[in-house]
Amino acid sequence: LSGLRPAASGRRAGLLAGIDVGGTKVLGVALRADDPAVVLGEARTPTPDSETGLLDAMADVVRQLDAQAGRPGITAVGVGIAGLIDRTGRLRVSPNLPGRRDVDIGVELHRRLGLPIRVDNDATCAAWGEYLAGAARGADDAVLVTLGTGIGAGLIADGELVRGAHGFGGEAGHMVVDPRGPRCPCGRRGCWERFASGTGLGWLGREAAEAGQFPRGVELAGGVADNVRGEHVTQAAREGDEDALEVMQEFAGWVGLGLGNLVTLLDCSLVVIGGGLVEAGEVLLAPVRTAYLRQVMAPEERQGVRIVPAELGERAGATGAALLGGLEASRA
Ligand SMILES: [Zn+2]
């Protein structure tokens, strides 16, 4: 616990708990606001199916963190959750947690824990985590994009989170990039995440496999072209399979299209890529950088825009949530 030190005020600041609620697991970390890179406790549990079960599981994770982290105990909690979270911390719509709408997570958790609670979108939290403790440190204009089953994004402008009028800012995965494209669970067609997420990579891989142009992918998918998924493309590409590299090029074109649009809109200096797909490494990032340069407006006037992998891994959302929870409590 070499990271422990008194707060600047001389008074020992309390510890913060951050929770990231994903489709499969609830992950919590405990940390101090003045040294967020040092994780003082970590707890996780599978995501329950029911609303009450989920709220109880979140409260239980905070109690475990409180026990692990020791004195002075958890004094504020932040929650990151997939979905549209309004500015009062109410979950309005969650594609990952079906059937759950208008859940007042802040009120329900406060009732269970008696602590100040802040609730935000998971990718928004991850962006804040990477900004204060990860790959985006010092970049006051940055965007975080997580490439997983879908696409999440969080925006930092002038050192502040962009939350928007309703709290729904940063839904970059649902920018329409092809109005005649495939249907999206959000109800529209051709959203960026249909093409540029792990789902999109799997789709491009299957197209190639079914056209007989990706035999290694078919092999990795157990001999069935229709079973090719994003991870098979990534694995084959890392082996140097030419067909997979071609699929990756096409995929990178879609990723670069959205990144070009985001940088054209926000004029950020840094793009941080997180999510499961970033584990592909340079096999993905190198063609994405090339594609981005083709799509952004006036690239020659924006020298030095960097596209880098995230640093906090699966803890990014929980770390940012904890820090936002602390910020909220200090303002209250
Ligand atoms: Zn959509």
Residue 165, pLDDT score: 94
- For residues 129 and 312, the answer to whether their CB atoms sit within 8 Å is yes
Residue 307, SS3 per DSSP = strand
Q: Comparing C-alpha atoms, which of 154, 148, 150, 152 is closest to residue 131?
A: 154
Give DSSP secondary structure letters for 101-129: EEE-HHHHHHHHH-S-EEEEEHHHHHHHH
184 CA → ligand 1 middle, Å: 5
190 CA → ligand 1 middle, Å: 7
List the 74-81 sheet strands across, edge first: 41-46, 25-31, 15-21, 74-81, 117-121
Distant-in-sequence contacts of 113-117, Cβ < 8 A, 24+ apart: 113/59, 113/62, 113/63, 113/77, 115/62, 115/74, 115/75, 115/76, 115/77, 116/75, 116/76, 116/77, 116/325, 116/328, 116/329, 116/332, 117/76, 117/77, 117/78, 117/79, 117/89, 117/325
Q: How far is CA 145 from CA 117, 262, 313, 315, 325, in A?
A: 25, 10, 13, 15, 22
Element (H, E) at 77: strand 74-81
199 CA → ligand 1 middle, Å: 13
169 CA → ligand 1 middle, Å: 14
265 CA → ligand 1 middle, Å: 19
292 CA → ligand 1 middle, Å: 21
Q: Are strands 117-121 and 74-81 parallel, antiparallel or unpaired?
A: parallel
Residue 82, pLDDT score: 87
93 CA → ligand 1 middle, Å: 13
- For residues 256 and 294, the answer to whether their CB atoms sit within 8 Å is yes
15 CA → ligand 1 middle, Å: 37
261 CA → ligand 1 middle, Å: 16
243 CA → ligand 1 middle, Å: 29
175 CA → ligand 1 middle, Å: 7
95 CA → ligand 1 middle, Å: 10
- For residues 220 and 235, the answer to whether their CB atoms sit within 8 Å is yes
pTM value is: 0.91
185 CA → ligand 1 middle, Å: 6
176 CA → ligand 1 middle, Å: 7
186 CA → ligand 1 middle, Å: 4
Residue 72, pLDDT score: 85
30 CA → ligand 1 middle, Å: 33
Residue 13, pLDDT score: 67
Our separate counts of H helices and E strands in the chain read 10, 13
174 CA → ligand 1 middle, Å: 4
Q: Where are the alpha helices (H) located in the chain, listed in sequence order?
A: 51-69, 105-113, 122-133, 192-196, 198-210, 215-220, 230-238, 242-266, 282-295, 316-331
- For residues 322 and 29, the answer to whether their CB atoms sit within 8 Å is yes
- Residues having C-beta closer than 5 Å to ion ligand 1: 174, 184, 186, 191
Per-residue pLDDT of the chain (332 residues; tens, 9 = 90+): 333 333 343 344 689 999 999 888 999 999 999 999 899 999 999 999 888 999 999 999 999 999 998 888 999 999 999 888 888 888 887 765 655 667 889 999 999 999 999 999 999 999 999 999 999 999 999 999 999 999 999 999 999 999 999 999 999 999 999 999 999 988 999 999 999 999 999 999 999 999 999 999 999 999 999 999 999 999 999 999 999 999 999 999 999 999 999 999 999 999 999 999 999 999 999 999 999 999 999 999 998 999 999 999 999 999 999 999 999 888 87
213 CA → ligand 1 middle, Å: 29
183 CA → ligand 1 middle, Å: 8
141 CA → ligand 1 middle, Å: 25
Residue entry with tokens 């491009």: 204
Q: Comparing C-alpha atoms, which of 273, 275, 313, 316 is closest to residue 18?
A: 316
Q: Are strands 15-21 and 25-31 parallel, antiparallel or unpaired?
A: antiparallel
Peptide bond into 72 cis (omega under 30): yes
97 CA → ligand 1 middle, Å: 16
- For residues 41 and 95, the answer to whether their CB atoms sit within 8 Å is no
- For residues 122 and 47, the answer to whether their CB atoms sit within 8 Å is no
271 CA → ligand 1 middle, Å: 21
CA distance 234 to 59: 37
Beta-carbon-side half-sphere exposure of residue 79 (alpha carbons within 13 Å): 31
